[in-house]
């Protein structure tokens, strides 16, 4: 077997999705999504632990969240072109998981009261840098390997593993905190798991290379339309992410201080409830984007997510849990939607890693950087101002749903039975 694995085109113009190569692709990219999103969404929980246990001020939490998401937004877009030219998507994916896991482990020093402010900043920046790699690189592998009508479902499968990571990591961490009576032990175990997983991905996809697509002869007019679509999709991703992740990043503090959960298993359960809906949501919406107008699906999920979060904020008890779970179902469905739209809008001879990084990192992670900052400034030093700020951000989210219809219409596959 050659050390460089180039995926050959199929007769239909797509790429082979079965066999040993296909199994390796979906297995290791899904493992990467699981670890990446689990660890990435653990960072706000760790910062909440520091706020509760070490009494870290809201200003430092705001700065740390902003730095974390800012590093995530900028790193991959700067390296995307190099990764594409060298075909280093699989190596970049494993490297990102490794760096992010090391950043998580450095939070141990802050929890151990060793220069806490310094290590909180360093850990946030390093974790964000590592987290910037997975979505552009892992998705580029999937986009190259699974072409045409079947891409959405594989993005959905892959995305569901990310949702599983988001759902269980906060709860697992707080279980470890309870079992070992130590935040440090829990973070140490999960950080070590990340390092081991990075090594397994590097070994499992060693020598994997993405074949560079040949020029399909797109004219300058088509390129202009496609380029403007990517820019607008990035803006939509930015606004949507700013609104929802401004809320999501501060949900642990909202649950701790407004609903009185503190650093408890109940906090972990609520975080997991919010994230677990995305497991099924990724699969459902990954399939729907193969059948229906992707713009309508994106707009619908945005509006529904805003309404459901509003209903969660104004209700209490079991009914509020239902709204929180449904919010997770529709909100965390964006991965297969955005990434399948990128495949429609990017010329086949263009840089998919860079385009993925532009929409997902500059747009999505850029919004994640701005969202916590907006919330942190708006609450004027009091965690109890969070609910009213959340409602304002939900109005902002609705704006992005309107912009969706300015996008050019993507290609729509022929309708087939949803579960056929």
Query: pLDDT tens across 3-24, in order?
Result: 333 434 333 333 344 555 677 8
User: What pLDDT is attached to residue 208?
Assistant: 67
Mean pLDDT of 40-64: 83
Under the banding of pLDDT at 50, 70 and 90, the label for residue 410 is low
User: What pLDDT is attached to residue 15?
Assistant: 39
* Lowest mean pLDDT segment, chosen from 115-129, 258-272, 387-401: 258-272
Mean pLDDT of 325-353: 80
Choice between 244 and 293, residue whose per-residue pLDDT is larger = 244
**How confident is the prediction for the chain on average, in pLDDT?**
80
User: What pLDDT is attached to residue 9?
Assistant: 38
Checking if the pLDDT of 149 tops 70, the result is: no
User: What pLDDT is attached to residue 216?
Assistant: 41
User: What pLDDT is attached to residue 147?
Assistant: 64
User: What pLDDT is attached to residue 265?
Assistant: 65
What are the domain boundaries of the chain?
A: 19-211+218-406
d(CA 308, CA 326): 7
Checking if the pLDDT of 62 tops 50, the result is: yes
* Lowest mean pLDDT segment, chosen from 107-121, 175-189, 212-226, 302-316: 212-226
Tens digit of pLDDT for each residue in 175-218? 887 787 778 888 999 999 999 999 999 888 876 666 554 444 33
User: What pLDDT is attached to residue 398?
Assistant: 95
Domain 19-211+218-406: which topology?
A: Growth Hormone; Chain: A; (1.20.1250)
Tens digit of pLDDT for each residue in 349-367? 455 777 888 888 888 878 8
Most confident of 154-163, 192-201, 213-222, 280-289: 192-201
User: What pLDDT is attached to residue 263?
Assistant: 57
User: What pLDDT is attached to residue 113?
Assistant: 81
* Lowest mean pLDDT segment, chosen from 21-25, 215-219, 256-260, 281-285: 215-219
Tens digit of pLDDT for each residue in 210-256? 655 444 433 344 344 447 888 899 999 999 999 998 998 888 888 87
User: What pLDDT is attached to residue 107?
Assistant: 93
User: What pLDDT is attached to residue 351?
Assistant: 56
User: Considering the entire predicted model, what is its pTM?
Assistant: 0.73
Under the banding of pLDDT at 50, 70 and 90, the label for residue 170 is confident
């Amino acid at each position: 077997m050659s050390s460089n694995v180039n995926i050959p085109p199929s007769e239909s113009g797509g790429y082979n999705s079965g066999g040993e190569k296909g199994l390796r692709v979906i297995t290791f990219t899904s493992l990467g999504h699981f670890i990446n999103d689990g660890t990435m969404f653990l960072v706000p929980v760790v910062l909440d632990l520091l706020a509760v246990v070490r009494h870290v001020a809201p200003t430092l939490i705001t700065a740390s969240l902003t730095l974390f998401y800012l590093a995530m937004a900028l790193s991959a877009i700067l390296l995307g072109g190099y990764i594409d030219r060298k075909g280093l998507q699989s190596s970049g994916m494993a490297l990102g998981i490794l760096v992010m896991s090391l950043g998580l482990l450095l939070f141990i020093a802050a929890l151990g009261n060793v220069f806490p402010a310094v290590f909180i900043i360093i850990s946030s920046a390093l974790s964000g840098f590592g987290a910037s790699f997975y979505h552009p690189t892992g998705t580029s592998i999937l986009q190259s390997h699974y072409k045409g009508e079947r891409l959405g479902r594989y993005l959905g499968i892959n995305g569901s593993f990310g949702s599983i990571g988001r759902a269980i990591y906060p709860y697992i961490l707080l279980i470890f905190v309870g079992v070992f009576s130590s935040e440090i032990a829990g973070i140490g175990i999960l950080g070590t798991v990340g390092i081991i997983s990075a090594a397994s991905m590097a070994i499992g996809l060693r020598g994997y290379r993405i074949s560079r697509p040949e020029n399909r002869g797109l004219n300058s007019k088509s390129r202009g339309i496609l380029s403007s679509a990517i820019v607008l999709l990035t803006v939509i991703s930015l606004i949507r992410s700013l609104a929802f992740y401004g809320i999501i990043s501060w949900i642990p503090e909202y649950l701790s201080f407004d609903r009185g959960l503190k650093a408890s298993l109940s906090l972990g359960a609520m975080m997991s409830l919010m994230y677990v809906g995305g497991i099924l949501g990724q699969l459902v919406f990954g399939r729907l984007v193969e059948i229906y107008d992707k713009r309508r699906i994106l707009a619908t999920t945005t509006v529904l997510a805003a309404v459901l979060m509003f209903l969660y904020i104004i209700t209490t008890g079991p009914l509020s849990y239902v709204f929180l779970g449904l919010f997770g179902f529709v909100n965390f469905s964006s991965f297969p939607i955005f990434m399948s739209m990128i495949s429609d809008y990017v010329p086949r001879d263009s840089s998919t890693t860079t385009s993925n990084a532009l929409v997902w990192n500059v747009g999505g992670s850029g919004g994640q950087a701005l969202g916590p900052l907006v919330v942190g400034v708006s609450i004027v030093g009091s965690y109890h101002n969070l609910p009213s700020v959340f409602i304002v951000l939900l109005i902002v989210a609705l704006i992005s749903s309107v912009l969706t219809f300015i996008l050019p219409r993507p290609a729509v596959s022929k309708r087939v039975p949803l579960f056929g």
